[in-house]
Structure formats: structure tokens, C-alpha cells
């Protein structure tokens, strides 16, 4: 049976890190949008979602069935009147972002895990409205370098713990392969799921969450704090097969 709403993580689930949808995945998403509502929830600000997901979609996609939740659910956008309309954003103030940046820099110095003299592929600390993200190699680092930097999550766990100790009033979690994300307390993917389900009047039990990090400490772990069903994938191929299995039933 097709879920009434399917949430997808982005990097590692629908796309490779910071990469656009493949043509195959784009076609599958368009077909899926004909049958159900789809939400994409991940770190990153809205422009990243537009570049990775929306722009590669073929013409005719039912964007009114697509919902975008950037910054790990701290914001929600829906398609209205030929544009993306912001439903809400749990915005961080300037004072809060400065507090978070200070904690990140102290954690970097304490752990010694990031050498700020090394080459950075873009900004290491990025302000995303409702989220501040620390990317060890810079936001635009090549995938092969990201994959090699912290394959067992040990570095990210140390950074996460060091930052969280300094920011007890915030939510500090792992993002992508080299990233730590900081949001307001209680603002995470579970929050985003709650908000969209309430807006669409869809019970959480009728929702499916699909992600590649549905494990303790993973960036999809928050989905377990909802009533949504979950489906773990290990690759884009797994996600493709799952979507095809739903389409085959309709």
C-alpha cells in the first residue's frame, strides 16, 4: 500500500553528497509524485534543495505534492502560485549564531581534529537561517575526501560531544559525512515530520521515512521519535528499488 506521505533524507538517500539527482532518480520521483505526497528533509538551506532536487526534475512534475524541509526540519516550504512559499522557519538570531560559532571554534581547538591551516573547500562554518553547520573540509569538498575523512563517525562524535557540552540549550547532531549541525533545542527531523503531518492532516502512522542513517547517532535517528514507519537504505540503488516497488503496486 502506498503511504500517504513519504519523507526522504537527501544526501546518501536520493543523491550523492551535494550532487544533483540522477536522471533515473528524477524520473522515479516524478512518477511517485503522481501517486502520493513527498517530503525531502535534510541539512542545507533552500538553494541547495533547489539545485539538487527541483532543477533536475523533468517538466510536468507535480510540485504541489512536493514539500521541502531544509535545515533538518527547521523550515518548511511548499509550492504555491509557481513559487516556493515558506510556511515557517525557526530562525536563529545573530546572537545565537555567534554563540554557536564560538562553541564550534573552541571545540575545533580542543579536539584538534580540524587544522584550520589546511585547505578548505568553501566555508567551514555556514549559516543557514535555522541552522549553523560545521563542515570539517568545507561545504564544497569532493565526495572522495568526505568519505575518507571520518568513515566510522569517530571524529564527528568527538566534535559533536565537544560542541554539545558548550551548547546545552541547543540541538547538536551529525549532518553529512563531515558535518555537525546545530539547531534550536527540539528543532530536528522529528519536529519537521510533526509539523508537516499536522499541516496536511495526515496521521504520522500513515507516513514512511526513508534514510541512510537510521541508526543511533545517525542524522535520521530523530525519525524514531515519531510514529512514522521507517525504512533504512544503504545506497541510492536501494532507494530506487523501494520507489519502483511502490510504483509497481499502482
- Is the torsion defined by CA of 241, 223, 160, 172 positive or negative? positive
Q: Which of 123-127, 197-201, 216-220 has the lowest mean pLDDT?
A: 216-220
Q: What is the pLDDT of residue 39?
A: 98
Q: What is the pLDDT of residue 117?
A: 87
> Model confidence over 227-250: pLDDT tens digits?
999 999 999 999 999 999 999 987
Q: What is the pLDDT of residue 68?
A: 98
The stretch 152-156 carries a mean pLDDT of 93
CB 212 within 8 A of CB 13: yes
The domains located in the chain, with CATH, are 5-90+187-248 (3.40.50.1000), 94-184 (3.30.1240.20)
pLDDT band at 21 (very low <50, low <70, confident <90, very high): very high
Q: What is the pLDDT of residue 70?
A: 96
The stretch 30-36 carries a mean pLDDT of 98
**How remote is the C-alpha of 166 from its chain's centroid?**
23
User: What angle do helix axes 154-166 and 94-111 make, rounded to 10 degrees?
Assistant: 130
Asked whether the predicted pLDDT for residue 116 surpasses 90, the reply is no
pLDDT band at 13 (very low <50, low <70, confident <90, very high): very high
Asked whether the predicted pLDDT for residue 107 surpasses 90, the reply is yes
The stretch 138-160 carries a mean pLDDT of 93
Q: What is the pLDDT of residue 176?
A: 84
Task: Classify burial at 18, counting beta carbons within 10 Å of its beta carbon; exposed 0-12, middle 13-18, buried 19 or more.
Answer: buried
Full DSSP string of 43-91 = SS-HHHHIIIIITTSPTT--GGGEEEE-GGGTEEEEEETTEEEEEEE-P
CB 179 within 8 A of CB 135: yes
**How remote is the C-alpha of 10 from its chain's centroid?**
6
**How remote is the C-alpha of 131 from its chain's centroid?**
11
C-alpha cell of residue 214: 537510521
Residue % of the chain over a pLDDT of 90? 90
Predicted TM-score (pTM) of this structure: 0.91
Q: What is the pLDDT of residue 69?
A: 98
CA of 204: how far to CAs of 2, 38, 89, 191, in Å?
14, 14, 21, 12
> Model confidence over 93-102: pLDDT tens digits?
999 999 999 9
Residue 177 has what DSSP assignment?
Answer: T
Report the side by side order of strands in the sheet with 125-127.
125-127, 132-135, 179-184, 170-174
Q: What is the pLDDT of residue 211?
A: 97
Amino acid at each position: 500500500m502506498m503511504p500517504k506521505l513519504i519523507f526522504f533524507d537527501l544526501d546518501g538517500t536520493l543523491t550523492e553528497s551535494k550532487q544533483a539527482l540522477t536522471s533515473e532518480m528524477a524520473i522515479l520521483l516524478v512518477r511517485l509524485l503522481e501517486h502520493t505526497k513527498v517530503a525531502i528533509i535534510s541539512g542545507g538551506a533552500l538553494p541547495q534543495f533547489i539545485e539538487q532536487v527541483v532543477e533536475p526534475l523533468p517538466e510536468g512534475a507535480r510540485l504541489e505534492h512536493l514539500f521541502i524541509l531544509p535545515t533538518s526540519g527547521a523550515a518548511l516550504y511548499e509550492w504555491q502560485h509557481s513559487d516556493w512559499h515558506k510556511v515557517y522557519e525557526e530562525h536563529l538570531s545573530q546572537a545565537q549564531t555567534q554563540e554557536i560559532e564560538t562553541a564550534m571554534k573552541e571545540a575545533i581547538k580542543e579536539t584538534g581534529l580540524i587544522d584550520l591551516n589546511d585547505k578548505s573547500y568553501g566555508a567551514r562554518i555556514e549559516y543557514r537561517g535555522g541552522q549553523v553547520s560545521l563542515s570539517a573540509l568545507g561545504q564544497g569538498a569532493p565526495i572522495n575526501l568526505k568519505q575518507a575523512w571520518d568513515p566510522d563517525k569517530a571524529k564527528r562524535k568527538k566534535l559533536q560531544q565537544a560542541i554539545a557540552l558548550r551548547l546545552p540549550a541547543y540541538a547538536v547532531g551529525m549532518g553529512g559525512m563531515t558535518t555537525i549541525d546545530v539547531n534550536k533545542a527540539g528543532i530536528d527531523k522529528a519536529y519537521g515530520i510533526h509539523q508537516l503531518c499536522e499541516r496536511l492532516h495526515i496521521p504520522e502512522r500513515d507516513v514512511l521515512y526513508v534514510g541512510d542513517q537510521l541508526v543511533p547517532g545517525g542524522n535520521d535517528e530523530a525519525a524514531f521519535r515519531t510514529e512514522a514507519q521507517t525504512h533504512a537504505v544503504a545506497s541510492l540503488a536501494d532507494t530506487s528499488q523501494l520507489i519502483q516497488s511502490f510504483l509497481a503496486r499502482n
